[in-house]
Amino acid sequence: MKVGFIGLGIMGKPMAKNLLKAGYDLTVNDLMKEAVEELVAAGAKAASNEEIGRTCDVVLTMVPNSPQVKAVMLGENGVANYMRPGTTFIDMSSINPMASKEIAAELAKKGIEMLDAPVSGGEPKAIDGTLSIMVGGKKEVFDKFKPLLSAMGASVVLCGDVGAGNTTKLANQIIVALNIAACSEAFTLAKMAGVDPEVVFQAIRGGLAGSTVMEAKVPMMLEGNFKPGFKIDLHIKDLNNAMDCGHSIGSPLPLTSIVLDFLYNLHKDGRGQDDHSSIANYYAKLAGTAIGE
């Protein structure tokens, strides 16, 4: 099986490396030539999008949002123009599920199958190959490519038809954002009340309030370390997609809209490239004290 991978950013590069480690015949492309060179040094081949379309049995993308996926696949020189009928496109980007359905419909006219397979876990889990992968598409296509996806993730779940993967990812991103905001609010309260946030963390992490989000993000808040595993600006994109999807189907998202406002404020303060744990800095600005001070 010849695999093409387009998009070698924070997430895509380690995901592609894990495909190499699993022994896949991998061809890559990205706008950042340094990333391409790094993958070639690890054993991949470099090629243009056209060459990837012509030669690969399955093409994966990991790019920022819906417009980029559409441009890569359906644009004037899009990969789909060169893919053979019977080949498959797997989009691992996090985009609006309505866009996934639109892309799948266009690809179906060319005889190309599609899965939408966004991921959760951030850079650390992308590196160690333990991402959670949420997939939408036909079961027979999912079954065929589950081993490929399992080379990048510890959990690979078929959630429904095309678009279901990204709907599941939007639900995930809402829960993560609200959880980070809740931790930021709670630990700021502890700090201002004169109780050591580190002690509070140790006291509650094993109880009902404990979560994967708390375990991953509160230590960063305590250290004042906001090196991005998942950037504020990317979470803005995801929550905007959630809002767009919610509006289109009439689903209420009042808490999501509030946390999205926090993220926009952080972006305006120059923190868009911070990790999303930087929501703690929104509270620090309001409170005049940081959790980790």
Query: Please, what sign has the CA dihedral across residues 279, 227, 193, 208?
Result: positive
Could you please report the per-residue DSSP string of 21-55?
A: HTT-EEEEE-S-HHHHHHHHHHTPEE--HHHHHHH
Q: How high is the pLDDT of residue 271?
A: 98
Q: How high is the pLDDT of residue 45?
A: 98
pLDDT one digit per residue (tens) for the chain, 293 residues: 999 999 999 999 999 999 999 999 999 999 999 999 999 999 999 999 999 999 999 999 999 999 999 999 999 999 999 999 999 999 999 999 999 999 999 999 999 999 999 999 888 899 999 999 999 999 999 999 999 999 999 999 999 999 999 999 999 999 999 999 999 999 999 999 999 999 999 999 999 999 999 999 999 999 999 999 889 999 999 999 999 999 999 999 999 999 999 999 999 999 999 999 999 999 999 999 999 98
Residue with token string 């599941």: 168
Q: How high is the pLDDT of residue 207?
A: 98
Task: Give catalytic residue positions.
Answer: 169
Q: How high is the pLDDT of residue 229?
A: 83
The token duo for 249 is 């189907």
Give the pLDDT confidence of 94-143 residue by residue, as tens digits. 999 999 999 999 999 999 999 999 999 888 899 999 999 999 999 999 99
Q: Residue 107, SS3?
A: helix
In the chain the domains, ranked by start, together with CATH numbers, are 2-161 (3.40.50.720), 167-287 (1.10.1040.10)
Distance CA 260, CA 287 (A): 19
User: H helices of the chain, where?
Assistant: 12-21, 33-42, 49-55, 66-74, 97-108, 122-128, 139-150, 164-192, 197-204, 212-223, 232-249, 254-268, 279-287
Q: How high is the pLDDT of residue 144?
A: 98
Is the Cβ–Cβ distance between 279 and 259 less than 8 Å? yes
